[in-house]
Amino acid sequence: MIIKNKYFRGLQKLPVIVLILFVSCSKKGSDNNTGGSTPVLSAEVTILANENKQVIQGFGCATVFAPPNTSSLINEEFDRLFGSGTGQVGLNLLRIRIASDDAWRATELNHAKAAIQRGAKVFASPWSPPARMKTNNNIIGGKLIPDSGAAYARYLNDFALYMASNGAPLYAVSVQNEPDWEPNYESCVWTATEMRDFLKDQGSLVTATRLMAPELVNNNQTYVNTILSDDAAAANLDIVGTHLYGGGIIENQLASNKGKEVWMTEHLDTNVTYTANLNTAIEIHECFTKANFNAYIWWYGKRFYGPIGQDGIITKRGYIISQFARFIKEGAVRLGSSANSRTDVLISAYRNGIKKVVVAINLGATDVKQKIIFQGTAVTSFIPYLTTSAKNAEQGSIIAISDNSFTYTIPGKSIVTLVEQ
């Protein structure tokens, strides 16, 4: 991540599921007798149940640089973040930091164990190799000494072994956090060629878990393609990681062609207005539908702009993330769909096992009477969960199916998730 001020940027800085997201808040009115204003707009979309897209690995947050008594999480907060019930966010991925300092390691170990106990997967990112392995003998700035490649690969592997031996096996380790960025805090710069050569020559030494790279600050396709174009380097890379502080939300076609999952492993927005929070929903939607990412990980789990605030209570952004994370679980498959007849209502659909989930975002201020048709599968009934400026993942009445379709009125500027029963 980019930390404007080192460790404290964060202080500044399987059913089928249908999810519907809207960007304005008005009274709720729908064909399922929820009451509210009479809709003046209508739309229609067809969910293509036989058109499988990417597998979704899940949603997560980070606890990196979380010193004791400052932002470490207590059990109740882990429950809120990683539980999938009412009033919980539904995350299943945790990002921790690889640190050589024993105190930091102990803190992150406790975080990892707590998340794993709640069914989450944990992956770890280093902000810098140990100072002894760097050209400037410092964890801030500098580069990896060319002859230290093998030692660094063993260092990453040893961290994975340490975590596993202490009851917290890692799903993956990353080579470097934001190698394309040289801030004045813990960091290390890698060119695309250097990252490619490390993966090609030393990647096979990381045997205790999967290997992720490059976790760029910007979603830089040229950098990633330099790695993936080398067959030997690509063979040692399991997950392509990227951040979204630049480069746009776009698909890496080469990663897709080579069968590599792409995870968005960090982004944040310190703006907490309702519009900014809804923009997070739009971002998640585009990460899955435009870029075909497999996972979405927010920055800090506990911050005023995160899923839970400094008081440990779920924020509006947390409820919006929950519209996806509570209902689209690990292993869900995104389904294809026709273009919605209204471009200001964004729709994505998923299948968890045999159940479907639909998520929709209404970008306009006016309620939309949205018809959802299912092709290639039979569906039963659905229950809506709605977040507006005044509601937080509020459960609605059951929606009956007629001719393998139903109509639901989506309030303006809101997000709704429709879950098959």
Range of the domain at 342: 14-52+335-420
Q: What percent of the chain has pLDDT over 70?
A: 89
Burial of 391 (0-12, 13-18, 19+ CB in 10 A): middle
Q: Are residues 285 and 269 in the same domain?
A: yes
pTM for the predicted model, two decimal places = 0.91
Q: Is residue 8 part of a domain?
A: no
Q: Are residues 40 and 76 in the same domain?
A: no
More confident residue, 124 or 26: 124
Instruction: Output the pLDDT for position 219.
Output: 97
Instruction: Output the pLDDT for position 309.
Output: 95
Q: Are residues 321 and 343 in the same domain?
A: no
What are the tens digits of pLDDT across the range 320-351?
Answer: 999 999 999 999 999 999 999 999 999 999 99
Q: Are residues 211 and 182 in the same domain?
A: yes
Q: Is residue 286 part of a domain?
A: yes
* Mean pLDDT rounded to a whole number for the chain: 91
Instruction: Output the pLDDT for position 63.
Output: 93
**Two structure tokens written together for 98:** 């690889």
What is the SS3 assignment for 335? strand
Instruction: Output the pLDDT for position 3.
Output: 44
Q: Is residue 68 part of a domain?
A: yes
Supply the residues annotated as catalytic.
Answer: 178, 266
Q: Are residues 230 and 275 in the same domain?
A: yes
Helix, strand, coil share of the chain (percent; to 5): 25, 30, 45
Provide the residue type at 364 as one letter: G
Query: Stretch 174-185: mean pLDDT, rounded?
Result: 96
Query: Stretch 208-237: mean pLDDT, rounded?
Result: 98
Domain end: 330, 362, 397, which one? 330
Q: How confident is the model at residue 71 (pLDDT cuts 50, 70, 90)?
A: low
Q: How confident is the model at residue 406 (pLDDT cuts 50, 70, 90)?
A: very high
Q: Is residue 256 part of a domain?
A: yes
Instruction: Output the pLDDT for position 20.
Output: 42
Q: Is pLDDT at 276 greater than 70 in this prediction?
A: yes
Question: Contact at 8 Å (CB) between 21 and 279?
Answer: no
Question: Contact at 8 Å (CB) between 362 and 378?
Answer: no
Number of domains in the chain: 2
| Pairing state between β 295-300 and 261-266 | parallel
CATH number of the domain at 360, please: 2.60.40.1180
Q: Are residues 287 and 414 in the same domain?
A: no
Q: What percent of the chain has pLDDT over 90?
A: 86
What are the tens digits of pLDDT across the range 9-64?
Answer: 443 334 444 444 433 333 333 354 444 456 579 999 999 999 999 999 999 999 98
Q: Are residues 279 and 391 in the same domain?
A: no
Instruction: Output the pLDDT for position 106.
Output: 87
Residue 319 and residue 391: Cα distance in Å, rounded?
9
Q: Are residues 65 and 152 in the same domain?
A: yes
Q: Are residues 231 and 349 in the same domain?
A: no
Domain end: 288, 304, 330, which one? 330
Instruction: Output the pLDDT for position 67.
Output: 54
Q: Is residue 1 part of a domain?
A: no
Q: Is residue 6 part of a domain?
A: no
- Any idea of the CA torsion for 280, 284, 290, 292, to the nearest 10 degrees? 160
Q: Are residues 339 and 197 in the same domain?
A: no
Domain end: 310, 330, 350, which one? 330
Question: Contact at 8 Å (CB) between 1 and 266?
Answer: yes
Q: Is pLDDT at 6 greater than 60 in this prediction?
A: no
Q: Is residue 3 part of a domain?
A: no
CATH number of the domain at 252, please: 3.20.20.80
Q: Are residues 48 and 163 in the same domain?
A: no
